[in-house]
Amino acid sequence: MPEALVERARDALDNAYTPYSEYTVGAALRTADGTVFVGCNIENANYSNSLHAEEVAIAEAVKNGHTEFDRIVVTSGARDGVTPCGMCRQTLAEFADEDLEIVCDLGGEETAEYTLGELLPNTISLDTLEAAAEQRDAEE
């Protein structure tokens, strides 16, 4: 179990801003060079402007010049094995390949582990968009 990353994700829960759902989420994202960035969810009264823990961690990493990741740990205050939502999976896919390790906290020392490819097969990518553009051009 990636204990250090789980602890970093759990520590991030302390900073979550969740006055509406009271469902705290923390994430710890490890870059290819071993640097770790954490994030927590930040809710907003209109809900659609809320930020997810994973995207906060990704934004912090990218802001600091990191765009290659090898593992992310996600936890919630409920320790229910929460996985990244579809939006966060797509954002992760922008910077990581299908082998990205996603570790979900089940509480205690228990985790569930997935790869990004398992959770988001056939992702939309630059290659997907370029192939679609080529196909459109060929049909014109």
43-52, 81-90, 94-103, 120-129: segment of lowest average pLDDT: 120-129
The model's pTM is 0.92
User: Is pLDDT of 108 > 60?
Assistant: yes
Q: Which residues are annotated as a binding site?
A: 41-47, 85, 88
Task: Determine the Cα–Cα distance for residues 105 and 55; give it in Å rounded to an integer.
Answer: 18
Domain residue spans of the chain: 1-137
Task: Assign 140 a pLDDT band (cuts: 50, 70, 90).
Answer: confident
Residue 73: CB partners within 8 Å, gap ≥ 6? 2, 5, 6, 8, 9, 27, 28, 103, 104, 105, 111
Q: Is 54 marked active-site?
A: yes
Provide mean pLDDT across the span 46-64. 97
Q: Spot the catalytic one: 54, 55, 101, 109.
A: 54
Q: Does position 30 have pLDDT exceeding 60, yes or no? A: yes
User: Which parts are annotated binding residues for Zn(2+)?
Assistant: 85, 88
CATH of domain 1-137: 3.40.140.10
